[in-house]
A and B are shown apart, each in its own frame.
Chain A
Amino acid sequence: MIIEVEELSKSYGEIKALDGVSFTVEEGEIFGLLGPNGAGKTTLIEILCGLRRLDKGGATVQGYDLIKDTYKVRGVIGFCPQETLLYDLLTVRENLAFSASLYSLSSKKFKERLESSSKVLGIGEFLNRKAQHLSGGMKRRANLAASIVHDPAIVILDEPTVGFDPNMKREFWHFIRELKKEEKTVLLSTHDMYEADELCDRVAIMHKGKIAALDKPTVLKEKIGGQATVHIRVRSDQAQKTRALLKEYHFVAKDKEINIPAKDAWQTMHEISNKLISHGIFTEKIEIVEPTLEDVFIKLTGSRLTGSEVS
């Protein structure tokens, strides 16, 4: 285990930001902390990076004790916060050189890392441009490059794609997968269920300072998210007839939309499709909707990942 967290607690006055959090992260995996704002993700990350003190519990990072070996722990982590922490008046190369100096990297090693980062993150084209003249996407790439310039074993990313458009998000996900290919361990926090589902090998769902569930996304969805649903949309004038035909199924209908939970969704969709066609009903849409991590979160907490209550 490259990260082991045990019964970690942290309070801000009366507010318990972390309440006995325990988990482990395996070497080379992408581990996600999924939860809404205020769930305790950032506090947990900042404690692991040595930016905050813990109240109770403990943790080891690559075998180093978080409290006793703080500086060693910091040396093996590459921390990329959600805000871009570049010096506007310095070029990207100078920003990276400064980050490298914080880890006392030799000039030779820095050159190697610069080449490698340029390849993986595609920053080579704007290495000599001042940070203030970079686009948002370039800044985020340069920011990530600065966080990993010292070749850390563990990369910690705090909400790395907040404020990204879908294209930028996809591009960034690609970079994170590249890190995995480089055998880095990635710990990322997010409140984006698709991001967690898409990227993470395992996900810890956090709610009010606790871990509500932890497993592979597929397992979480299967075990907690509930059954898949066959979703049907018909013409408005055929909605009543359709409902009558499907009365043997337990469905939830609203106007011309019908959702039918099914254990074997493919078999059920096949049956329904045949039945409707044989009665002259042509669907506008028929699809299987798998449970998402949002469903898992709702089942576990009764609220959405945005923090709003489920009506």
Chain B
Amino acid sequence: MNSIIGIAVKDIKTFFREKGTIFWTIAFPVLILLLFTAIFGREIPFNATIGVVDNDKTASSIGIVSGLNATGFLTLRNYTNVTEAFEDLNATNIRAVFIIPSNFEQSLPYRNATAFLTVDGTNPDVARIVEDGIRTLLLGYYKYAFNYTDPVTLNAEKTTITKNIGYKENIVPGMLTYPLLFSSMVVATGAIVFEREKGTLKKIRASPIHPINMLIGKTLAALFQTAIAIIIMSALAVVLLGPKLNWNVPLLVPIFFLGSMNGIALGLIISCIGRAPQEASNAATTIAIVLQFFTGMYFPVEYLPDYMQQIGRIIPMTYAAQAIRDIMVRDATAAALLWPIATLTITAVILYVIGILLYKRWVEKE
């Protein structure tokens, strides 16, 4: 058997028999995928219950209350006295108390009608939505009743550049980047570190196999393991989440390949830098955990703070994550992917050459 294939076959067999490695490279990312989707992926309509005390009982106050009812995001609970309403607010049974005083309709033509709103500020987001909603409704009602005209009219319009996607459509492409870090980088580090730790590298080095051939064999094994992880994750994502994505395999394969090569090269570098095998292994896992937040795996890069985006720009995996999301979500064409492909190719070549040089230096030092 060819020595390169021999190394790859040995590594693959060992991989499939090592339960711990399988967990971290396949089962763990799947769990993360499901967990994130369960937490953030639900599309729950906003709704808050507020207490209403209508002391005016006029056509205007009744019109405002029915308008609040019609908003769809507020559930109204009517109270006859203010004390009762505030008791429920303090007991957190309702989010806000809205009071329409008895002279409300009378004061409207004079533009000094006042209604009162007390909002539970514990959750600022909910408080803001409730307050803004009621303020907008009151202004709208005034405009309707008295033909009030805004000095400037803004015709706001929203357009959707990408497909109208949910969280699962965003996280699935991001999570498919996970194997590029964990299966490629961590497995590549582990493959060398394991041989060092176990002493088996001595056996390989005493044989006529050239160090570069050994690294090629290990790279093939890591690529295979990454491919398996990606296929399993994709299948599970489709079955369990059913995201509406563009599975453009001819475009995805080169991105996954180049991303994996970057991960493997980084793993190779880390394995040669670590003085002790365990040190290198821990470093790879830590780096992978940190990098995943900068690469836009869980959220599109645009969601990240500016400084995180800047850091993300120097990490090859960010380009892979972006390209994968572009293909699957935005239906990107091959022409649109030239820049990430070029970036990933250049970084892969540079990192791999550095990895080979470091490995050779390390072997000579040994």
Contacts and interface: CB of A to CB of B under 8 A. Distances in A.
A49 B206 CA distance: 6
B199 interface: yes
Nearest to B17: A89
A110 B3 CA distance: 13
B165 interface: no
Contacts of B2: 101, 104
A98 interface: yes
Interface string A78-104: 010101010101100010011111111
B117 interface: no
A77 interface: yes
A28 interface: no
A134 to B, nearest CB: 15
A85 to B, nearest CB: 4
B202 A51 contact: yes
A50, A101, A103 pick with most chain B CB within 10 angstroms: A101
A56 interface: no
A105 interface: yes
Given A101-B6, A105-B1, A90 B14 contact: yes
Contacts of A90: 10, 13-14, 17
Interface in A40-88: 49-51, 53, 71-72, 74-75, 77, 79, 81, 83, 85, 87
Contacts, number: 78
Nearest to A95: B10
Interface residues of B, number: 26
B206 A74 contact: yes
A102 to B, nearest CB: 4
B18 interface: yes
A89 B16 CA distance: 9
A128 interface: no
Interface in B3-49: 3, 5-7, 9-10, 13-14, 17-18
Contact of B206 (A77, A94, A110): A77
Interface stretch (B72-80, B207-215, B244-252, B343-351): B207-215
Contacts of B276: none
B3 A102 contact: yes
B111 interface: no
A119 B335 CA distance: 63
A43 B339 CA distance: 52
A104 B3 contact: yes
Contact of A53 (B9, B14, B17, B364): B364
A308 to B, nearest CB: 29
B202 A81 contact: yes
A11 interface: no
A74 B208 CA distance: 5
B203 interface: yes
A4 to B, nearest CB: 20
Nearest to B214: A102
A72 B1 CA distance: 18
B201 to A, nearest CB: 9
B208 A101 contact: no
Contacts of B135: none
Contacts of B13: 89-90, 94
28 contacts: A50-B206, A51-B206, A74-B206, A74-B208, A75-B207, A81-B202, A83-B199, A85-B199, A85-B200, A85-B202, A87-B200, A89-B17, A90-B14, A90-B17, A94-B10, A97-B6, A98-B6, A99-B203, A100-B1, A101-B1, A101-B3, A101-B10, A102-B3, A102-B209, A103-B3, A104-B3, A105-B1, A107-B1
Given A79-B206, A85-B202, A101-B2, 19 more contacts: A49-B206, A51-B206, A72-B208, A74-B206, A74-B208, A87-B10, A87-B198, A89-B17, A90-B17, A97-B6, A98-B6, A98-B9, A99-B207, A101-B1, A102-B6, A102-B203, A102-B209, A103-B208, A104-B3
Interface of B: 1-3, 5-7, 9-10, 13-14, 17-18, 198-200, 202-210, 364, 366
